[in-house]
Amino acid sequence: MQKSVLITGASSGFGLVACEAFLAQNWRVLAAIRGGKEREALFTDLLARFPSRMEIVELDLLDNASIDRLYHTAQAHAPLDALINNAGYGLFGSIEDTSDESLRKQMEVNFFGTVKLTQKLLPLLRHSQGVVLTVSSILGRHAFPLTGGYCASKFAVEGFMESLSAEVKPFGIKAYILEPGAFPTGFGSSLDWTLPLPSSPYLKATVGYQRLRLKISEKNKGKSLTPVGKKMVHLVTNRPFGLRHAVGSDAVATVWIARLVPANLFHQVLSAVINKLQRRQA
């Protein structure tokens, strides 16, 4: 029987490469995006190549009614063999400068939206003994300066997934966390920056970090996303051992450095990054 996967945040980056990777493996794909059918033009190539195995569906993680409608769509296409939680965005900037409203929205989308959708779809995945794969970030394992809002949401997601993995294991469901490093997904150019006031003590560091992020995005422009799509397919189809899976040379290197370097030294290095950014802007 043909297997099916629901992929959120499917219109670009990791979500889009996941759609292509699973379609290439003869899976049926429900591609969930905000705007739904109105944004089908984003998938012109894939729809032309796989017209009978791909469907665009609406999803707004801030709207409970949208999540309910998606559940009924997935139910109609049952069995659902895999859920890939990929939708989200990044809130960067200093903790002191970040507003309560911005932080709450970050948590509502990246954490609560992911949790609510997963809760809703678990009965379908229990029936198929399927897989939940949530795209986190290497920043969900190790927090960097000026990324507190985003890191908090990803740390929360990883805690949720770690608990979930043990809860659903008796029912044959596998849970995985994918922790990518820097890839040319458009993430860097779509960041929601907390812009500090001229009087903020973090102004120079924030401006410096914005410039650094642009350099990182430029450096990674030619980097292929194919390894991420292959990793997703491997985790879902082979169901290997282990909860967390880093992907990308920088992500893997960060994991190993954190393992080999004493924690206090690791955090001293992170503090030095802020000091360097401050000096560059002085």
pLDDT tens figures, 2-22: 999 999 999 999 999 999 999
Residue 88 has a pLDDT of 95
pLDDT tens figures, 140-170: 998 889 999 999 999 999 999 999 999 999 9
Residue 279 has a pLDDT of 66
pLDDT tens figures, 87-140: 999 999 999 999 999 999 999 999 999 999 999 999 999 999 999 999 999 999
Distance CA 6, CA 55 (A): 10
pLDDT tens figures, 228-260: 999 999 999 999 999 999 999 989 998 898 888
Burial of 53 (0-12, 13-18, 19+ CB in 10 A): middle
What is the 8-class DSSP label of residue 111?
I
Distance CA 239, CA 1 (A): 18
Is the separation of the CB atoms in 131 and 80 below 8 Å? Answer: no
Residue 272 above 60 pLDDT?
A: yes
Q: Percent of the chain scored above 90 by pLDDT?
A: 72
Residues in the chain: 282
Number of separate domains in the chain? 1
Q: What is the CATH number of the domain that holds 164?
A: 3.40.50.720
Task: Return the minimum-mean-pLDDT range out of 25-29, 52-56, 257-261, 272-276.
Answer: 272-276
More confident residue, 87 or 184: 87
Q: Is 150 a catalytic residue?
A: yes
Residue 236 has a pLDDT of 98
Most confident of 59-68, 209-218, 264-273: 59-68
Crossing angle of helices 13-24 and 226-238, in 10° steps, is 60
* DSSP helix/strand/coil, 2: coil
Residue 271 has a pLDDT of 75
Residue 282 above 80 pLDDT?
A: no
Q: Domain limits at 235?
A: 4-281
pLDDT band at 281 (very low <50, low <70, confident <90, very high): low
Identify the active-site residue in 71, 89, 150, 209. 150
Distance CA 114, CA 164 (A): 12
pLDDT band at 190 (very low <50, low <70, confident <90, very high): confident
